[in-house]
Amino acid sequence: MIEIQPKKRLRGILTVPGDKSISHRGIFFGALADGVTRLEKFLFCADSRSTIGCFSELGVPVDIQEDTVLVHGRGLHGLRAPKNVLDVGNSGTTTRLLTGLLAGQPFTSVLDGDHSLRTRPMARVMNPLSQMGANIEAKDDNHCPLTIHGRNLHGISYTLPVASAQLKSALIFAGMFADSETVIRETHPSRNHTEQMLLHFGGKFRCENNVITISPQERFYAQELAVPGDISSAAFFLVAGCIVPDSELLIKGVGINPTRTGVLDVLAQMGADITLQNQTTAAEPSADLLVRSSSLRGCEISGALIPRLIDELPIIAVAAAFAEGTTVIKDAEELKHKESNRIHAVVTELSKAGVDITETDDGMIIRGGAVCGADFEAYDDHRIAMAMAVCALGAHGVSTISGEKCVGISYPSFFEDLRRISEEA
Ligand code: S3P
């Protein structure tokens, strides 16, 4: 358990850890490339270590040197049959992307993870993959452990029933090993890191009007790349900087891929004082984000915005609790299927702090007002732990957070960074 006192002000310069989605995908593409891929500013956390562990088991050596990983690629057809169960830990991204990749390999693999991972829905990936000819067994036809009997796959034309980059990416990886074209339609675009990295490693696909067409690939070439900071991690400090009075924080080198910047759009709409500096224009662009204390106002968040900020909704709900007026979050049913049921977790925890908040089927309604300290729980969910820690910084009175160690899933040094900017106050 950790105790958090409200803060008078936050000051300092921060570099948040590397982007989790990009770090995972760097290992995937590095493994399938010819040569040694070098990933700098890689995110070392429990989830990315799960991906590294799985690929080591698939015959891909990965060396770790400080904040860099070297992936000794085996080429497109070089993965080896695993001798042991592939341990995906808590990582939904590892599980779903690997399921797509392994469905078309000439061997059988078994994937399993922790208690929370075993509750995450996998039928969404299994259904289109079985249309492609895959043979996957799962507990209740939906949950891990998954046994994937690799098969020859054929291309399909498929409209994603949920806006999910994990599902889209699973189908892209499967499509690379199918014997004909795979066409994937998205209603609302989700993060496109898989597509960006596919191009970067020398692969090919077409994308027009949210329709992706992918064919078997010839060859991937090893790359050197630096992972930008994770905007999902930066979001906690953006909101902290807004809600704690007299604050000024500079968060350096944060990834601002437009498919991920919904949180910046929403905070701007809420009246946040956030400035972008030193923007780069790479395929995965980045910027330094300067945030100052702000008077926030409520807003509505729905539709195409949701996939662009899906992981930031818990911390956006915290911002809404400190805002004037009402915030309505809709079309976010997917939040129920994350590391915890995040709609229920956020509503339960913010209610403890005296926030006027209502749970709905696909989101929540938050009426901003006074927020008091409370004894928060983390639900074994890193983003709930960090969102409540930020809430505690701006609340009246002391708070505690139990189960806070789960921040190691995505941001092992979160509390250290928080202390540093608080001590500088
Ligand atoms: C991710 C996609 C999102 C996100 C997750 C990471 C990815 O999940 O919530 O944290 O790296 O592709 P969904 O694709 O299931 O929405």
19 lines ligand 1 (CB under 6 A): no
What's the length of the chain?
425
CA angle 278, 283, 289 (to 5 degrees): 30
Predicted pLDDT at 63: 97
**Residue 175 phi, psi dihedral angles, 5° rounding:** -60, -30
> Is residue 286 within 8 Å of 254, Cβ to Cβ?
yes
Ligand 1 atom nearest the C-alpha of 194 is 12
- Check pocket membership of 99 for ligand 1, CB cut-off 6 A: no
Evaluate the CA torsion angle 95, 101, 104, 109 in order and state its sign.
negative
CA angle, residues 231, 276, 195, in degrees to nearest 5 = 45
Q: What percent of the chain has pLDDT over 70?
A: 99
Dump pLDDT digits (tens) for 287-321.
Answer: 999 999 999 999 999 999 999 999 999 999 999 99
Pocket test for ligand 1, best of 21, 22, 93 (most atoms within 8 A of CB): 93
Instruction: State which H helix or E strand residue 345 sits in.
Output: helix 342-352
* Atom from ligand 1 closest to the CA of residue 307: 16
The burial of 26, by beta-carbon neighbours within 10 Å (0-12 exposed, 13-18 middle, 19 or more buried), is given as buried
Q: Answer whether residue 86 shows pLDDT above 80.
A: yes
CA–centroid distance, 5 to ligand 1, in Å, is 32
Among 117, 169, 191, 197, the mutation site with the greatest number of ligand 1 atoms within 8 A of its Cβ is: 191
The rounded distance, in Å, linking the Cα atoms of 89 and 409 is: 9
Q: How far away, in angstroms, is 198 Cα from ligand 1 center? A: 17
- Sequence-distant (6+) residues with CB within 8 A of 419 are none
- Nearest residue (by CA) to ligand 1, atom 11, is 21
**Mean pLDDT of the region 182-191:** 96
Per-residue tokens: 105? 């390999």
Asked if the model's pLDDT at residue 425 lies above 80, the reply is: no
State the virtual CA torsion across 167, 171, 174, 180 in degrees, nearest 10: 170
335: helix, strand or coil: helix
- Measured CA to CA, the distance from residue 234 to residue 244 in angstroms comes to 16
Decide whether any atom of ligand 1 lies within 6 Å of the 21 Cβ: yes
Question: Confidence class of residue 212 from pLDDT cuts 50, 70 and 90?
Answer: very high
- Whole-angstrom Cα distance, residue 241 to residue 293? 6
**At 198, is the pLDDT very low, low, confident or very high (cuts 50, 70, 90)?**
very high
> How far apart are alpha carbons 154 and 177 in whole angstroms?
8
CB of 230 sitting under 6 A from ligand 1: no
What b/e readout covers 355-372, taking b as 16+ CB neighbours within 10 angstroms? bebeeeeebbbbbbeebe
Catalytic residues: 311
In ligand 1, the atom with minimum distance to the C-alpha of 338 is 9
Q: Which atom of ligand 1 is nearest to the CA of 310?
A: 9
CB of 310 sitting under 6 A from ligand 1: yes
Q: Look at residues 205, 194, 198 and name the one whose alpha carbon lies nearest to residue 166.
A: 194
pLDDT at 371 over 60: yes
- The CB of 311 under 6 Å from ligand 1? The reply is yes
91 in contact with ligand 1, CB cutoff 6 A:
no
